Structure 1
Amino acid sequence: MSLVGARYGALGVISAEGGLERFIHVGIDTPTVERIGPLPSGRGVLGAVIADREPIRLDHLHEDPRSAGFPAQHPEMESFLGVPLRVGEQVYGNLYLTESENGSFSAEDEELIVALAATAGIAIENARLYDVARTRENWNATIAEVMAAMLDVSGENVLDVIAERVAALIDADRVAVAVPRGDGELALTTVYGSDSDQLRGRAYPAAGTLSARVLATRRAVSSDGRSQWTTLDWWPQVGPTLAIPLFANDEPLGVLSVSRPKGGEAFTDADVDMAFAFAAQASIALEVVRAREDRQRLTTAQDRERIARDLHDHVIQRLFGAGLALQAVSATVDPESSSDIDAQIDAIDAAIRDIRTVIFALSSGERRGSKRVRDRLLDVVAEVAATWTSQPRISFAGPLDSLVSAELADDLVAVLRELLTNVFKHAQAQTVEIEVAIAGEDVTLVVADDGQGISDSAPRSGLANVAERASLRTGYCRVASRAERGTRIEWSVPVGPAHAERA
């Protein structure tokens, strides 16, 4: 404006769609700008400079057929000079000048502004290159932080660590991790930044979201923030958003979303490129974490197998030998001493049963995908008694896994879950003992506790269901309960087909 004596001037930055995404103006005071309303979007003569990519110089702006006119309250403007501002081969924006103090802009004015635009283009290109370098530096620092954090992280909170490091190093208002669920939804497991408490744990349909798009393409994608949450009325307004897919091998683990405030600076192509590199590095880190945990599980499994083998080959055999020796001694002593020795032999037998249960649990490992009866019963105990201060003791006797059918196993599991749940809700017991045994043609489940007994007024719908399961299999369910001595429930049915099935 000073160079050519213009009263008004503006720089219009061209968007990716071809219009004006920014319009920086000088010469009109703030109250007038507010009265005029929305800034120009690139129509009329302003759009012609964008389309032609060549300078336009006019003495009378309103007489040009391409003119779209001015809104109300807009100052009068006659002379006009528009020059494209190139950054390399790309047109970054346009310089617009109006109202020459000489009445009109000359050819010399046009040459000066074209030269100035070329100089400005070099300055903008240098600034862009600096921003790209700074962006890459920030992302490289983030990648290094994440890789270092993976050395001590476990698989359970690996996504939290990734989100935390990104939130600390990347200029963002909110960082969130959404993980896929089996029902076609995504759940926000991790949120850092504004409204984190309100958003953490929320689930939403994946279809049509930016998260679903990046999981399908496996590439980082940026948006203006609107397309990510169009169907979510509970999601706060958000600005430019960058979504990054997180995979472990071919398994989608989640989507990392980095959002800036509404009206914030858009993510650049350099951001998207570095985010894609970040996703690749994060996937490698996730694989490393998984491999390390697999090795740890393998080492643990080997240790468990060794302990189980030692218990079976050494401890049980020595206890069994001690029991046989005591039986031999029992036959040579007086009846009173023999009775005491027999009691100790029974205690040794009980200890052997307990150790065998421990051996089975150790040998079963995590029991993933197993269908064995003992596994399922142990899983029920672990599930129901997870929060108990004192864990129940369970023992097995007899060939349960080979004689109990799948249908009967379902009943055993259901009965044990019902009885343990009743103990947890009502008994206030300190100890609970469980016995599952096959004797002859019957399988018997016993649950005994030392808590409060069952009162006469207590509802017995659960016990009625347990008794009905026994009756359908021509078995029985016996309940012995005292107010101060706890409850003992014995559930026994034939191992063979149920009565109803035989009929």
Structure 2
Amino acid sequence: METGSAASQKRAGTDPSSVSSSVSSTGSPTSENLTFPLVARLELDELLTQLVDRAQDVLATQSRLRGLLAASRAIATDLRLPVLLRHIVEAACELLDVRYGALGVVAPDRTLEEFVHAGMDPRDVDRIGHLPTGHGVLGLLIDDPRPRRLDDISRDPSAYGFPPGHPPMRTFLGVPITVRGEVFGNLYLTEKRGGTAFTAEDEELALALAASAGVAIENARLFHDTQQRHRWMSASADVTRQIMADADGALESVAERVRTVADAEFVSIVLRDEEAGSARVAVAVTVGADTVSGAGQRIPLDGTLTGRVMAEQQPLRVEDAQLDALPEERDAATGPLIVLPMVAGTDHVSGVLLVGRNRGKRPFSDTDLASAASFAGNVAITLELARVKADRERLVVLADRGRIARDLHDHVIQRMFAVALGLQDIAQYERPSNAERINQYVEDLDVTIKDIRRSIFELRASGASKRSRLHAAIDRIAEDVRPALGFTPTVRYSGPLETVIGDDLADQVIAVARESLTNAARHSQAGTVELRIGVAGESVVVDVIDDGVGIGPGGRRSGLDNLRTRAEQLGGSFTLTTPAGGGTHLHWAAPL
């Protein structure tokens, strides 16, 4: 018989045995067999699932944040900019789990001047050939530097398509990299592993990495600029010592040092020629050239970069020298070019320094321009100091020559003349045999006196020649051709040139000397060249003698024809002969 309680439970649809099993001996329910209604249990399962998903999202986010920190540390380990750019690309590929990544550096002309990539097989790179320059999808960020996410590159209206041999790419994410508020370049990522599209979270991670990259690039730039300034300062100190030790032979070393420090392919030092109203290339150094080329060329000051910089006394930067510079102001392959004034005083520009890089190489930065301009000014000041030093030394030599000439004239010659007179007087009283010997001694003394007088004349003429326009011009010409010859030609003067040659004839002699020495430098391949200028009777003569190969039938004759024409117009003569020992002897003469 059922109890009332059991009956009521059965009516309620509840098994009394189940209830009793859920109650302990004390009358309390046990946790092991606690049950919930079906609806409540479903809601609890859903909440637990959401909690697990959120926890997994938190863990994934935490993992990606750790990856971002690791990537930021990785790109900050090296301050060398080329290495840093590669680290940035590799870190981005690892952080966002993509197959391909690249960083394009934006040039001033809105193209990609540098493209650093990762993930592609080297064989694919070789098949593709040239790197991207910033067209198509890559150019989107150049024109509008905002993040870009594409699920399929090929469907974008700006897509150019891929060149032959390029691996397939579909998904795309691009973010700009800014340095000090200016776009430095863009970070490009494609082909996320798993084939999924890039998400907003991926974009945020890429932007965060780009921000870290911008800071690292700025630090690398500052480090590079500091190192570059130090290199220029060190070079300036070195060339100062070289110029003060040997001003004439130091310019080639200066140009070579500039080429190395500036990472350039072409360097030229151009000096002003006040009298000619133009500039001349003192030395030009080009990478790969066996010899120094371009020396001695004339550059007009009107309508040239050289003339502009000399007039304005301000450094100039050119993006492409092929468009803006004369051939004399650049090498055949020069692209980026800086032209720097060599300012030795407030209003005195002694010349310019031209530094060029090949087309396709990076342009010169503001730091390059400022450091090189300071270097050029220091070279100009040092050259001026060396010139003053040389002038002082020359004045000392001239003073010694003058003193020696006066002593010879006032003392030695007078005493020798007195001795000769005394011997002549004694000869009158001696036997004929002794008298003949004494007279011979007197003749020897006369010859010696003439030799001393000739030496006095040469000493005085040498002193005057340094101050004469003719001698100064000839000395400059000899220095101009020194780099092309490989040595300084010997110059000899004879006779009173500064007193008997007028200005017009002096200009002719200067032109003949320049043409003759330039011709010898270009064609003779000589080991020695001697220039002689003097007065012979009623004519001024110019002789250039070298031991080179001579001028063959096919040689250039325009310069020689000019020399012949000059001589004929003045009523003089011109001959070109081959000495017995070989070489060439050029003889030019014109009446005084």
| TM > 0.5 | yes
Any conservation in 1 of the 2:262–2:368 contact (CA below 8 Å)? no
Q: Which moved more, 1:215-224 or 1:46-55?
A: 215-224
Identity %: 38
2:255 pairs with one of 137, 149, 163: 163
2:232 pairs with one of 119, 124, 139: 139
Partner of 1:304: 401
2:293 pairs with one of 179, 199, 207: 199
* Pairing of 1:26-425 with structure 2 (within 5 A): 26-34=118-126, 36=128, 38-65=130-157, 67-73=158-164, 77-100=169-192, 101=194, 103-153=196-246, 155-166=247-258, 171-172=263-264, 175-177=267-269, 182=276, 186-187=280-281, 189=283, 191=285, 193-197=287-291, 199=293, 201=295, 203=297, 214-215=309-310, 217-221=312-316, 227=322, 231=327, 237=333, 243-246=339-342, 255-258=352-355, 266-333=363-430, 337-364=434-461, 365-368=463-466, 370=468, 413-415=535-537
Distance of aligned partners of 1:418 and 1:205 in 2 relative to their CA distance in 1, 3 Å threshold: closer
Any conservation in 2 of the 1:210–1:243 contact (CA below 8 Å)? yes
Count the aligned residue pairs: 405
Distance of aligned partners of 1:59 and 1:193 in 2 relative to their CA distance in 1, 3 Å threshold: closer
Q: 1-side partners of 2:541 and 2:307: how far apart?
A: 44
Distance of aligned partners of 1:348 and 1:368 in 2 relative to their CA distance in 1, 3 Å threshold: same
Q: Which runs of 5+ in 2 are unaligned?
A: 1-92, 476-488, 507-533, 547-567, 573-591
Q: 2-side partners of 1:139 and 1:225: how far apart?
A: 24
Report the alpha carbon displacement of residue 111 of structure 1 after superposing the two structures with TM: 1.5
Any conservation in 1 of the 2:266–2:331 contact (CA below 8 Å)? no
Q: 1-side partners of 2:498 and 2:387: how far apart?
A: 33
Any conservation in 2 of the 1:56–1:82 contact (CA below 8 Å)? yes
Distance of aligned partners of 1:164 and 1:35 in 2 relative to their CA distance in 1, 3 Å threshold: closer
- Give the letter aligned to residue 291 of structure 2: D
Report the alpha carbon displacement of residue 201 of structure 1 after superposing the two structures with TM: 4.8
For residue 196 of structure 1, give the secondary structure of its aligned residue in structure 2. Answer: coil
Distance of aligned partners of 1:27 and 1:216 in 2 relative to their CA distance in 1, 3 Å threshold: farther
- Give the letter aligned to residue 112 of structure 2: L
Any conservation in 2 of the 1:163–1:192 contact (CA below 8 Å)? no
Q: Which moved more, 1:5-14 or 1:139-148?
A: 5-14
After TM superposition, the score normalised by the length of structure 1 is: 0.65
Any conservation in 1 of the 2:286–2:331 contact (CA below 8 Å)? no
Q: 1-side partners of 2:490 and 2:326: how far apart?
A: 41
Cα offsets for 1:64-112 (capped at 9, x unmatched): 55x2432454555544332111112221111223344464322222221
Task: Tell which structure's C-alpha radius of gyration is larger.
Answer: 2
Partner of 2:114: 22
Any conservation in 2 of the 1:138–1:170 contact (CA below 8 Å)? no
Partner of 2:551: none
Report the alpha carbon displacement of residue 216 of structure 1 after superposing the two structures with TM: 5.3
Q: 2-side partners of 1:220 and 1:420: how far apart?
A: 42
- Give the letter aligned to residue 110 of structure 1: E
Any conservation in 1 of the 2:340–2:376 contact (CA below 8 Å)? yes
Q: 2-side partners of 1:47 and 1:240: how far apart?
A: 24
Report the alpha carbon displacement of residue 213 of structure 1 after superposing the two structures with TM: 5.9
Report the alpha carbon displacement of residue 25 of structure 1 after superposing the two structures with TM: 2.9
Report the alpha carbon displacement of residue 212 of structure 1 after superposing the two structures with TM: 5.9
For residue 21 of structure 1, give the secondary structure of its aligned residue in structure 2. Answer: strand
Partner of 1:450: none
Cα offsets for 1:18-68 (capped at 9, x unmatched): 222122233444444455554333334433322333223344545555x24
Distance of aligned partners of 1:280 and 1:226 in 2 relative to their CA distance in 1, 3 Å threshold: closer
Q: Which moved more, 1:169-178 or 1:6-15?
A: 169-178
Distance of aligned partners of 1:362 and 1:77 in 2 relative to their CA distance in 1, 3 Å threshold: same
Any conservation in 1 of the 2:264–2:356 contact (CA below 8 Å)? yes
Report the alpha carbon displacement of residue 119 of structure 1 after superposing the two structures with TM: 0.6
Distance of aligned partners of 1:194 and 1:215 in 2 relative to their CA distance in 1, 3 Å threshold: farther
Distance of aligned partners of 1:215 and 1:104 in 2 relative to their CA distance in 1, 3 Å threshold: same
Distance of aligned partners of 1:231 and 1:95 in 2 relative to their CA distance in 1, 3 Å threshold: same
After TM superposition, the score normalised by the length of structure 2 is: 0.56
Q: 1-side partners of 2:382 and 2:318: how far apart?
A: 26
Question: Which protein has the bigger helix share?
Answer: 2
Q: Which moved more, 1:334-343 or 1:354-363?
A: 334-343
Distance of aligned partners of 1:345 and 1:229 in 2 relative to their CA distance in 1, 3 Å threshold: same
Distance of aligned partners of 1:401 and 1:327 in 2 relative to their CA distance in 1, 3 Å threshold: farther
Report the alpha carbon displacement of residue 126 of structure 1 after superposing the two structures with TM: 0.9
Report the alpha carbon displacement of residue 178 of structure 1 after superposing the two structures with TM: 5.0
Q: 2-side partners of 1:327 and 1:77: how far apart?
A: 114
Cα offsets for 1:332-385 (capped at 9, x unmatched): 44566555444443443333333223223223314246599xx9xxx9xxxxxx
For residue 175 of structure 2, give the secondary structure of its aligned residue in structure 1. Answer: strand
Q: Which runs of 5+ in 1 are unaligned?
A: 380-385, 426-464, 470-497, 499-503
Distance of aligned partners of 1:82 and 1:204 in 2 relative to their CA distance in 1, 3 Å threshold: farther
Any conservation in 1 of the 2:420–2:445 contact (CA below 8 Å)? yes
Report the alpha carbon displacement of residue 116 of structure 1 after superposing the two structures with TM: 1.0
RMSD: 4.7
Distance of aligned partners of 1:265 and 1:318 in 2 relative to their CA distance in 1, 3 Å threshold: same
Any conservation in 1 of the 2:465–2:498 contact (CA below 8 Å)? no
For residue 10 of structure 1, give the secondary structure of its aligned residue in structure 2. Answer: strand
- Give the letter aligned to residue 160 of structure 2: G
For residue 189 of structure 2, give the secondary structure of its aligned residue in structure 1. Answer: strand
Q: 1-side partners of 2:300 and 2:267: how far apart?
A: 18
Q: 1-side partners of 2:151 and 2:493: how far apart?
A: 95
Partner of 1:457: none
Any conservation in 1 of the 2:100–2:190 contact (CA below 8 Å)? yes
Any conservation in 1 of the 2:350–2:380 contact (CA below 8 Å)? no
Report the alpha carbon displacement of residue 148 of structure 1 after superposing the two structures with TM: 2.2
Q: 2-side partners of 1:345 and 1:359: how far apart?
A: 21
Partner of 1:447: none
Q: 1-side partners of 2:130 and 2:332: how far apart?
A: 25
Any conservation in 1 of the 2:268–2:281 contact (CA below 8 Å)? no
Q: 2-side partners of 1:163 and 1:198: how far apart?
A: 10
